[in-house]
Amino acid sequence: MPELPEVETIRCQLARKLPGEKIERVFANCPSLVFRGYPRKGMLAEEITGKKIVSVERRGKYLLLGLDRGLTLALHLGMSGTMLFRDKNAPRDRHCHLELFLKNFKLSFRDPRMFGRVALFKGQEFSLLPGLARLGPEPLSREFNPKWLAAKFQGRKAPVKSLLMDQRIAAGIGNIYSDEACFLARISPLRKAGRLKPEEISRLDAAIKKVLRESIAAIGCTFRDYRTSEGTLGGYQPRVYGREGRRCKRCPGTVVRKVIANRSSFFCPKCQR
């Protein structure tokens, strides 16, 4: 967390308020781990102060704030990161790594577990964040389709879930929505990806798009830490994720938990094959 729907929700909220705003002042906790890998982190506040925000985009799980003079401020929320609109005089807590002070409010990036990232780029030169540079297609785009999945799954012995969480294959999908998509498609996340039949791959593609659209409409899923930029909780209710030991919502089976790719995974062994 957060995954594509949560980051897209935040992007939409930021896009309603930020474009046209001038960054009047910046707090950047540059020794923080979220700035790791960015060689000019000590200059970040100076480089973006006075710049105008011209766009707010998303790529996978990354937020991209387009600034004037061709600059892009990239932020990855990690596992516990949030971007919050706050009063300019609101106190700053120890989990805050970056604050952008605008005319009537400030935008705060909090990340208690510090798995997030912050970096500033000229244009689209994202080489300092290899994960961003190597992202696969957006799951809701035309480029992401059964043909794409079939090509990436062909001959692979890795579990379906592992490949769905590979950002080079499906940008923005993580632990929750890989489980949800497998459940909706009636496919076990343990299945070897290369063994899926064409009709199963088509079902999986449709399931991915369905659960992502549902969650975006519900402003995401709050399983633990996630909050929108306005401080509200997500309304998406998982069909299978986090329901270990409870009855399956589709059949008389019981949801089980298995560790796949070092992540807790949930599925019904009775109806997911």
Residue ranges in the chain assigned as alpha helix (H)? 4-17, 44-48, 130-133, 146-153, 160-164, 175-184, 198-217
DSSP, res 250: S
CA 258 to chain centre: 22
Determine the Cα–Cα distance for residues 76 and 38; give it in Å rounded to an integer: 13
CA 58 to chain centre: 9
- Phi/psi of residue 233, nearest 5 degrees: -90, 155
| Residue 86 DSSP SS3 | strand
Residue 74: closest CA among 39, 122, 17: 122
Is 95:170 a contact under the CB 8 Å cutoff?
no
Known catalytic residues are 2-3, 61, 263
